[in-house]
Amino acid sequence: MLFVSLRRRRLIIKNSRYVIFGLISIFLMIFPSKKVHATDYTKETGYVLQILIPATALALTYAKGDNQGSIQFYKSFATTMAATYALKYSVPETRPDGTDNKSFISGHTSAAFSGASFIQRRYGWKLGIVAYAAASFTGWSRIESKKHYLGDVARGAAIGIISTYIFTSPYNGVTIQAFADRDTYGINLLTSW
């Protein structure tokens, strides 16, 4: 039994690495091949990370076979984005660069922190600290590129973290699933050995 457990864990870790490497490779292709200034690079990296962090969080749920985690991710991410865009369109605030009045609440930051806090809350600080560092860079990139004020970024991070903590529980290797059929109903408890 112990051999099977160690083998399964190694397989999950190996598959997770492939999924994360694949996602990073895809998003690195987004970068322009022409010369860019440091601020352009920072801005582009923020764009990529706002997608890459939540995508990695979701990919981890599939790599671990964590169906309950997938559902929790969808709920928390949908809540984050709904709250962010409701505020963005109901509270007009001019951006620091003056381009439009959608500065209030950084959508990039809320998406990144939603993914990062999900990874931390569901799978622990070992993965979470890296995700939070990447999410923090995303927030900084929005300030650096003059798209948001510090308060917009802080509020976006808070919305992402709070909505994740409302819907997400720590993963301890046990998945609980309800099932119902015409003649049968009950609960499945799934675990890895």
Domain count within the chain = 1
- The pTM score is 0.74
What is the arithmetic mean of pLDDT over 149-169?
Answer: 95
pLDDT at 176: 60
pLDDT at 1: 40
Stretch among 8-17, 119-128, 141-150, 177-186 having the lowest mean pLDDT: 8-17
User: Helix, strand or coil for residue 186?
Assistant: strand
Tell me the residue range of the domain where 74 lies.
2-191
Q: Give alpha helix (H) positions in 32-124.
A: 38-63, 67-90, 107-123
pLDDT at 2: 42
pLDDT at 193: 44
